[in-house]
Amino acid sequence: DMKVTQMPRYLIKRMGENVLLECGQDMSHETMYWYRQDPGLGLQLIYISYDVDSNSEGDIPKGYRVSRKKREHFSLILDSAKTNQTSVYFCASSSSTPSGNTLYFGEGSRLIVV
């Protein structure tokens, strides 16, 4: 069963608190991604991971860090969350084939920072 699972689905945090968003996939995909989605800005790439402990910044990495210790898990960490990090966060995964990568998305995690 091809599935990307995100936890938690909804989260409310106070400004300055740490946030951990977790993502798992059961497709043995090498590559995983974190995007955020905001009205008017669309989906923006935060980080990409090519495999365990092989991560690269995306377009908007500031304020975020990631961890990938197992191929099937990819975490997004916000140290000292800010109100402008209120957003919907999507994890995705894809296989590393030369013919191009179709991304498969999780259900999203809605984060509100107050």
Partner 1 sequence: AQKVTQTQTSISVMEKTTVTMDCVYETQDSSYFLFWYKQTASGEIVFLIRQDSYKKENATVGHYSLNFQKPKSSIGLIITATQIEDSAVYFCAMREGNNYAQGLTFGLGTRVSVFP
Q: What is the DSSP letter of 9?
A: S
| Sequential DSSP letters for 79-93 | SS--GGG-EEEEEEE
Range 58-77, binding partner 1 (CB under 8 A): 58-59
Q: Which is nearer to partner 1, 33 or 64 (CB)?
A: 33
Q: Does 54 bind partner 1 (CB under 8 A)?
A: no
Q: Does 7 bind partner 1 (CB under 8 A)?
A: no
Determine the distance from the C-alpha atom of residue 83 to the mean position of all C-alpha atoms in its chain, rounded to a whole number.
Answer: 18
Q: Does 83 bind partner 1 (CB under 8 A)?
A: no
* Separation between Cα atoms, residue 80 and residue 1, nearest integer Å: 36
Taking the CA atoms of residue 94, residue 96, residue 99 and residue 100 in that order, the dihedral angle to the nearest 10 degrees is 40
Site for partner 1 (CB under 8 A): which residue of 19, 21, 48, 113?
48
Q: Does 52 bind partner 1 (CB under 8 A)?
A: no
Contacting positions for partner 1 (CB under 8 A): 33, 35, 40-43, 45, 48, 56, 58-59, 88, 90, 99-105, 107-108, 110
